Amino acid sequence: MSFNENVPKLKPYSRSVSIIGVGATPFVRVLDDPAVDGMNEAELFAYAARDAMKDAGVTGKDVEFFVHGQAGPGWTSNFATPNMHAANWIGMKGKGSYHHSEACATGYVALETAVHAVASGQYDLVLSGCIEMPYSIAHPTRVLTKRRFGTDAMFHEVLCSTMPREYTLFTRGALPFNSESWLDYYISENEISPEDVDGFMTNLSVNCRRAAALNPLSTITSDTYEELAMANGMDSASEYLHSKFNPLIGKYMRASHFEQRCDGAAAVIVCPTEQAYQYTEHPIEVLGVGHSCLEISNPRLEMQATANAYRQMKELTGLTGEDMDLFLTNDFYNQSEMLAAEMCEYLPKGRGWQYVKEGRIAFDGDRPVNTNGGRCQYGHAAGASGLHDLYEAVRQMRGEAGATQVKHPVNRAMLRGFGGSQNVLNIMLEKK
């Protein structure tokens, strides 16, 4: 039996569950921004949680249980049980809670966990939030308001604890070819010319940067690549993206194709769908969550696990990516936008790269992907990013996304989560 055949079929929830509230902080860099300098994990978590409560029209007295997610509490916060540091801030002292960590997939697991708690019938109103401060980490022995820069050296030491050490210890982190392995396979399989590869990779950066520059939550991105080119005496975004400001860091990838680390938090509140109309006119039903885990030794693990998680949801719901109006995905490698969207049949097989070149996956295209700008331009706060994607999906489905609102109704949305060379999830949402 192969590991692909080892993934079980999903069962329907015992009762339908819907999202009634979402909240998110701006993505910031606490050390670099005087407006937020001194903020800590509890404050950011509370900001997002209380934002979600306000969105749902509830308070901490109404919420029965909360879940706390953080990818790296040990190295960014020096916490062993980080949920213990949040209850007082959100009016839930004495109520039950727990913490979980699934690296950069934490934000997607956050939704899955909350939904399970409500679908089981144990609770009717559950909040799930995620916080991450990988850019501005805590000192080991100082108060949490005094931060220090989270260096790449520290980060790669942490990667050795999230991936099997027998495969990764000698590299002090991920195997160096892992970030491009799926892309290289895709290019070879579809016989894409070097010129077309460069074309769609460049367009990925341009599309995402344009969306991020318009997104009020992306405080680390304010200029489009066209504006950056002009400021540096260049004629076009393409010229800028092929200059010294955007060097090659792999066979295909340039600096603009990799995540921008930052600090932030997000939260979601769920309840039974039958009760959801007490809180909102447009509940967002969670149709299910597919989930597959593969560790780093498996070739193209992101590709394989994406296929597994999507297959679970396709079998459970009878829906495909073609039925979706929006796709959001973890793209700390920018090309994952296109690759995951095609694997989940949101884009046609073998033609996703053409959709990118033609601008069709931009927020104003007909098959929008990562309308918030994605991790490479909007920013990446590790465990919190998945719930930022969920926040974006819900806002798009309600028609509340502002300048980057897509040009057609969003009745169904799909999220593909990936993190830590382990958890890959597929989430389908439907507006009621």
Reported as a pLDDT band with limits 50, 70 and 90, residue 173 is very low
pLDDT recorded at residue 174: 53
Structure tokens at 16: 């339908």
Query: What would the pLDDT profile of 122-146 be if each residue is shown by its tens digit?
Result: 999 999 999 999 999 999 889 988 9
Query: What would the pLDDT profile of 77-91 be if each residue is shown by its tens digit?
Result: 988 899 999 999 999
Q: Can you give the three-state secondary structure of the chain, one letter per residue?
A: CCCCCCCCCCCCCCCCEEEEEEEECCEECHHHCCCCCCCCHHHHHHHHHHHHHHHHCCCCCCCCEEEEECCCHHHHCCCCCHHHHCHHHHCCCCCEEEEECECECHHHHHHHHHHHHHHCCCCCCEEEEEEECCCEEECCCCCCCCEEECCHHHHHHHHHHHCCHHHHHHHCCCCCCHHHHHHHHHHHHHCCCHHHHHHHHHHHHHHHHHHHHHCCCECCCCCCHHHHHHHCCCCCHHHHHCCCCCCECCCCCEHHHECCECEEEEEEEEEEHHHHCCCCCCCEEEEEEEEEECCCCCCCHHHHHHHHHHHHHHHHHCCCHHHCCEEEECCCECCHHHHHHHHCCCCCCCCHHHHHHCCCCCCCCCCCECCCCHHHHCCECHHHHHHHHHHHHHHHHHCCCHHHCCCCCCCEEEEEEEECCCEEEEEEEEEC
Mean pLDDT of 56-71: 97
Indicate whether 178 pLDDT > 70: no
Does the predicted model carry a pTM greater than 0.85?
yes
Query: What would the pLDDT profile of 351-362 be if each residue is shown by its tens digit?
Result: 999 999 999 999
Query: What would the pLDDT profile of 371-415 be if each residue is shown by its tens digit?
Result: 999 999 999 999 999 999 999 999 999 999 999 999 999 999 999
CA torsion 91-45-208-240 (nearest 10°) is 140
Reported as a pLDDT band with limits 50, 70 and 90, residue 217 is very high
